[in-house]
Amino acid sequence: MKFAIGVILGLLLFPLLGVLYVTSGRMPAAATDPPMPFEGAIAGVALNARIRRAAPTRNVSGFTTQELVSGADIYQNDCAFCHGLPQQPMPTAAQGEYPRPPQLFTPDGRVSDDPPGVTYWKVKNGIRLTGMPSFEKSLTDYQLWQVTTLVSRADNLPPEVLSSLKPLPSPAIGSSGALALPTPPASKPQ
């Protein structure tokens, strides 16, 4: 009897403590908050298990330089904002994100060791509760593979491809970061 009461109380107590924690205002919700206990481990295990089940296998060694250049154009438009460009400092947005987006052209952030199918899965589906978007709706399957192949070969890209990964000049924004608006006509002398 005591045992049964213990089990019932236990069953009630755990969800109750969970609800109290979530509604207490103490659970980390800001990008700048420290991680919850075990957050990294749980999220990592869930993600890896999911990807192992679902990632396709594909040999991307046949992609041509031209296809990699197309991948670099996609990267410039959709990824560089968070994942950075070769030989460039970490972009401003990336510095304030939690979790940090790996800088895909640095030795620490490269995904060259991952099977391309795993990287493709991440780009296609995104990574929940992180800044990593899903590109399934905005890129075609061919484009997904082009940009996947680009980042999978980040350690070994031909010069034509690297030159497509230079920072783009932003015509409307001056070096001071101010918008270059047309100067208003000088007011009439009084």
Residues that bind ligand HEC (CB under 6 A): 78-79, 81-83, 97, 99, 101-102, 111, 119, 122-123, 127, 130-133, 135, 147, 151
Report the SS3 class of residue 170.
coil
Residues 6+ positions from 112 with CB-CB distance below 8 Å: 152, 153, 154, 155, 156
- How many Cα atoms are found within 13 Å in the side-chain-facing hemisphere of 155? 9
Report in angstroms how near the CB of residue 5 gets to ligand HEC at its nearest. Answer: 43
Report in angstroms how near the CB of residue 129 gets to ligand HEC at its nearest. Answer: 8
Report in angstroms how near the CB of residue 104 gets to ligand HEC at its nearest. Answer: 6
CB closer to ligand HEC out of 67 and 78? 78
Rounded (10°) angle between helices 116-125 and 39-54: 110
CB closer to ligand HEC out of 85 and 147? 147
Total length of the chain: 190
How many CB atoms are closer than 10 A to CB 47? 16
CB closer to ligand HEC out of 136 and 160? 136
Report in angstroms how near the CB of residue 155 gets to ligand HEC at its nearest. Answer: 14
CB closer to ligand HEC out of 101 and 117? 101
